[in-house]
Amino acid sequence: GVDEAGAPIAVDDPAGARLLELAAAQKDGDDRAFVSDIAVFGDLAGEERFVEEFASQLKALRAEGARARMRALVG
């Protein structure tokens, strides 16, 4: 993965390769790719309300950046 500045981030997770694939699909315009993977999100992947909120928060994160998004969420 990479951070907002484009610097590499090491992914230390047993499912890291799959998560990076999902993130790449998401970056290519499929905002639901990551959250709709049952292996990662289980039953939540089929919950439309969850999927919509995830996509909405992802869009806001991309538009505002991580710090601004965290401030908006926690006050």
In the prediction, which pLDDT does 71 show? 93
Nearest of 39, 46, 43 to residue 22 by alpha carbon? 39
Residue 53: inside a domain, yes or no?
yes
Is 1 within a domain?
no
Residue 10 included in any domain: no
CA dihedral sign, ordered 1, 11, 5, 67: positive
**Per the domain annotation, does 3 fall within a domain?**
no
Structure confidence by residue, pLDDT tens digits, 52-74: 998 899 889 989 999 999 999 89
> Tokens 């970056």 identify what position?
27
On the 0-12 / 13-18 / 19+ scale of CB atoms within 10 A, 66 is exposed
Lowest mean pLDDT among 12-16, 33-37, 48-52: 33-37
Whole-model pTM: value is 0.71
Residue 7 lies in a domain: no
Domain span at 62: 16-74
Percent of the chain scoring above 90 in pLDDT: 31
Sign of CA dihedral 4, 7, 13, 14: positive
What's the structural domain count of the chain? 1
Residue 20, in any domain of the structure = yes
